[in-house]
Amino acid sequence: MTRVACIGECMIELRQAQGGQNGGLYSRGYGGDTLNTAVYLSRLGVDVDYITALGDDALSDEMVAGWAAEGIGIKRVVRLPGKLPGLYLIQTDDKGERRFFHWRDSAAARSLMDLPETDDILNSLATYDLVYLSAITLSIFSDDGRTRLMAALRRARLLGTRFVFDTNFRARGWPDLAIARNVFSSAFEGADIVLASTEDLAPLYPGESNTALLAGISSPEVVLKLSDPACVLRYAGGSGEVKAEPLTKPVVDTTAAGDSFAAAYLAGRLDGASPEQAARAGHRLAGVVVCYPGAIIPRYAMPPKRAQRPTTFRKASQ
């Protein structure tokens, strides 16, 4: 069976509750870009483990129990005594566009590359068919931590593991743009698939056209989501543009739109779908997710699975 690892950070999520616009009422959940992708991958039938660090507190217990209930593997979750998860608050405007406020400087996940368990975690990456992480994942680690992780990914790729990099960019997570550009360049060179967006790349490469942004990504397979509801694709043997279908419901919250797109795209590719088919699936799931508040939508709201071709996107033989 194809196995996927998602690496990153999950935080406590506070979002405005119904009727709380004037009263300051918030509901509590959890989320984080790569964790959101892991949840949607699992719901789409992919065998996925989440790799992170959490505290030994009750909220961390709740997170791990919730992930297990979603079918996510938790054997690579490190628990750190005395530590806590980070926290973020979502503020949305009347069009559903979101703004995040974070409290995460001392979160347990930031220590993931500096633990006694780190070597075992990094060596385990070669046992997966695909490893997925984002720019946010890389931003929470030190320079040395990023170097260790990227070196482990290079070793894993030699054994057939595929590396997927999502450009999810938050400027506040980086000390300066020059460091971020260097990290992105390294990730582009090492990734088999890059899931990018003009929203992410415009602050890093101001003034660049969509064509130039795409050309600057050296990965063999690239998805570039545009400001319009569409994406452009470049892959071995082809390229194209895939537009999203018009939404039939109002947008409530755009949180996890990109994370759910990533999950459906990767699930499609793992099932043997073409990049165009996978991108349509990504648009379809993201179009549902934005109609619900928070990062993780109710299970009943998931769109029906559509049959794909037999799996061809497998780890190379060893």
Catalytic residue from among 33, 49, 259, 271: 259
> Per the structure block, which two tokens stand in for 209?
């056209």
Closest CA to 7 of 53, 56, 71, 70: 53
Cβ 241 vs Cβ 224: under 8 Å: no
Closest CA to 222 of 199, 252, 191: 191
Q: Where are the beta strands (DSSP E) in the chain?
A: 3-7, 11-16, 26-31, 47-55, 77-80, 87-92, 98-103, 130-134, 162-166, 193-197, 221-225, 230-235, 238-243
Cβ 279 vs Cβ 238: under 8 Å: no
Q: What are phi and psi of 315, to 5 degrees?
A: -65, 140
Sheet with 98-103: list strands edge to edge.
26-31, 11-16, 87-92, 98-103
Q: Helix, strand or coil for residue 222?
A: strand
Q: Does residue 259 have an active-site annotation?
A: yes
Closest CA to 118 of 88, 81, 149: 149
Active-site positions?
Answer: 259
